[in-house]
Structure 1
Amino acid sequence: MPFNPQLSTRRLLAAFGCFFWCACLALTWPAPLVAQIDETPIEDPNPLVAVEHEAENERIQRIKFLLEQGQPDQALAMLEPLLESGSDAPLADAFTLLQAKAVQAKGETKHAIIILEQFLEEYPISSRTDEARLLLGQLYIQTTQANRAITVLTNALNRSLDPTTQTQGWQLLRQAYELKGEYTKAVQMALKQMNKTPDDQRGELIDYIQGLILQKMSERSLGDLLDTFSTKFPGDLALIRLIELHTAQGDEVLAERDIQAFLHRFPNHPYAQTAVALMQSFISKIKAHQYVIAAVLPFSGKMKPFGSDALNGIRLALEEGRTHLGSNTLGIVVKDSAIPPAQLPHEVEQVLREFKPIALIGPLLARQVQQVADLPDWAEVPFVTPTASISNVKQFGRFWFSTALTTRLQVTKLVDHAMRTLGFSRFCILAPDTSYGRELARNFYDIVRRNGGEIIAAESYQRGTTDASAQIQRLKDRDLSLYGEMLPFEYPDTQKAPKPGEEQLVYTPGFDAMFLPGHPTDVAFLSAQLAYFDVKTPLLGSNTWNHPDLLKWGRSTLERSTFGDALFLQSTDPDVQEFIQKYREKFQLDPSIFAAQAYDAMRVILDTIRHGATTGREVRDQLFIRHDFPTLGGLAAFGDGGVLDRKVYMIQVANGRFVQVN
């Protein structure tokens, strides 16, 4: 039949009309009839299935009863024919879980673990997965597999809102973290469990936390716990424990520091009266010493690790000094500098008035130096900052000194090595576009020019960049306009040379080295990109290069590159190695540059006392005129800006390793 457009259209309209009428009829159907249809029970087409389910449930209850009665062999005998039906059989997940419990009851823990791991793979949406995860976590703990236990138990807690599952999960998780030695996390799990526990049932959990603090936690883990709960329970218990430990050890420095922290953080605590009494006792002991040295360092907040390192260096030098000057000669008072800026000058002034120290070490930060800038001259007490990167601390007064590796000192030593030892004279700069990077670039430019060198070009890059090709191309273009060349590529003997006129030209830099300070990840990436653009010159870096990951990320493109630092753990200097060994023995960790520079600050002060200084003014006078202060790098003196002209170790990348070259 030929196609008829009009007929087709009429048919479509008729069909649509029929559909519309049916839809309207469905919407207007009496409601009671719909309800009657919905409530009509659906009969099981196979009544035998319901009977079989009931029988299987009876078997499950019987197997559970056998397990409760301590008869796992009989339970397994009942399970064996049921498990043969396969994973698709009704209640197969229940039988598999019971099998794991029966095997566990027989003491076959490893076999039970295998069954439960298979259970979670085969029945990922079973209603019994929570129970399986909890049991598997418990078995992992029994077999000292803490990491696996933490993973499976965390999964259980993340997937379930059931209160019982949550409670059991937290309880097992704290056992797993305790097994791993992560006591702070174990405490956190106990606290989560406590939040869901009625007040009258929390005693056991509090006893558990106290037991960890008193019996298992080391000084380091107590410090971690205190960082996590700095002004609330159980931070108070951790701090009390630290006070007790340091008092028992006779460590006046740390005990006094912890008591001050406790009174600041928990002024209304029941233990506060005891802390005040202890504090008064320590103050009397400190004042009884012939000479008192103050230390103003951060012992809380983000800067706490650096303050702790610096204090460790001070304590090590103090211990050595007491062997020469006598234990009753030297006392030290510490003050936490991690307080509001407006409060810091008042707190430091109070220390100066009460203890009358012969010298003060600190603060660490340049902005804090400025906040207390007028106090040294007012009190006639020399302040020695071990880390503030200020090239001229004398601008703040006659009693200011520094043992820090300042930006200018670092660059001065690097340029001196590059120009005098390596014979370089022409340089390019590629520095991060940060305040620190800009300061390094300015100093490098200035010091190279003062020494008769030449800066060909300078560019900056964004921290974390993945593309500095534009900057590198501008450096090349500038160099090509002065000294760089495009020379024919020299083919190896084994390769056929190109025909005349077909030579490949390659960029040959006209400068000797590239100054590339920055974070190790940036330096590794940029060194590779420089090599890609044929900028194949030695690189010069900052002390931020002193990181093992730098070699892991950019070993091949950093060969022959050099940077400087005030501390090198692989140094060939015997004095440095002796310091590192003593530090490791006392504190069970490697010293940082903060520890080394604070160690030098304390040694310098103690050396003035050994040479007869009895007042702050006399200490200051010696710091001005002497040139033989003992430091880790050898004898040294303070320069015109008040900064110690310390040795900076030149470290080169050679054969994929850091090697000291001076």
Structure 2
Amino acid sequence: MKRTTAVLLLLLACAPARTVMVNGHQVSYEEGARIELGAAKASFDAGKYDLAAQQFATFIQRYRDSDLLDEALFRHGQALAKANKLQEAQVALQDFLERRPTSPFKNSAVVELAAIQAKLGQPAPPLPPVDPSQMSEQDKNQAAAALAESYARNGQWGEAMRWGARALETASGAEREPRLKQYERALEAAPAPDIARLVSDLDRKSAAWPAAALKLARIQLHTGDRSHAEDLARDVLSAGGAYADGARAVQQAAQGSPLRPNLVGIVLPLTGDLKGFADQALNGIALTLDLQGRGKVQVEVVDTRGEPDVAAEAVEQLAQKGAIAVLGPLGIAEGLAAATRAQQLGVPMISLSRADGLTSLGEYIFRDMPTSNAQARAVAEYAQKKLNAKSFGILQPDSAYGDEMARYFWDAVDAGGSEVRAFEHYPLRTTTFKPFVQRMVGRSPEDLDERQQFSEQAEKITKEISDPYRRRKALSQ
């Protein structure tokens, strides 16, 4: 056996070296690969991207066993991208990353693919993570924004957050605000372990540190780690800036009672203009929860008086008592104020407010009430599509709510190709609507008097003017 192996090794050693013909000369296989790859790279450097893409493709077919194949595969996708053949480039680079995940050109390919995906703006397969240790600081800075955008589009929020932080750190001027929004969006969706790792890795002087630290403090507060939440909130507060209010709220909540998983807070305007609606909401809640505290779930109800500041304070008060979640309030202004404070504190809230944009405040805010726009649009669409109504009348109360609903409803009617033919408004606390409806349908006393006068005048013209033409002209005046 040993003798056979030795013979085979000797035969292989004596075998002629593999050669290829390049430019009319016979050269070794690897020398030919080096020459042809160099020619393709020269075309690329000269801006001849279509030619370069063809040359790289030819190289890939001819030199499948070359040590230079990885570079050619990457450069082929890069040349296609430069030639504005983005779909082909995306396919080429994705195939390269799938087939050769350990290639030394992996990082470069991921960065190039991220830039392509950003240009295409379409859903794409997830990008593999990039190893920053294999990149220069300049390369990281140049690639950060495109990587953050592509990772976010693919739902890879941990990577999107990490590269979004780098993009924010290097942003200047007009770039800063959109990059900050992109980074905060990734922070809201990123897993807690990734956020903790990022806070640990970032320099506290980094523009990305306060937002990440505040997010982590909220997570710690909500999971019952009040000591660390308070410490981290204090650090964010000492840094000042836009996140100080949120940090202060977390700090105050952390100083309250420990989290009580069986305590639910309810914030409603039990006094003020919305009292009647609050009473109805409370009656509905009482069908499920024992408001007297005799069940497993304890309930604490706080009056917001319909005022934004009071609503925010009510949420903070409940958070300090350890409430696991908050339900309410009802009004638009108080709804926004309460939801903002709940998001700052990291306390889940199910809002009963019609205010637009509540859930966009963050991942802790939910809603169980459609917006005014959605309600008005639903009524208009039902009337037009189900009832085939083509003309409408609007009767609204003299209030901000009435103005808002009338505006949304009128817009929805116009959008559906119908028209509003009558419009009236009435003072709040009106109990008799007959005169308003009469005016809308042309049956008010004034309307009827005008009709009587017209009838009498028409009868007179008919009797006095016998010529049909002159009679029609007189009736039309």
- Please state which band the TM-score falls in when normalised by the shorter chain: 0.3 to 0.5
For normalisation by structure 1, the TM-score amounts to 0.32
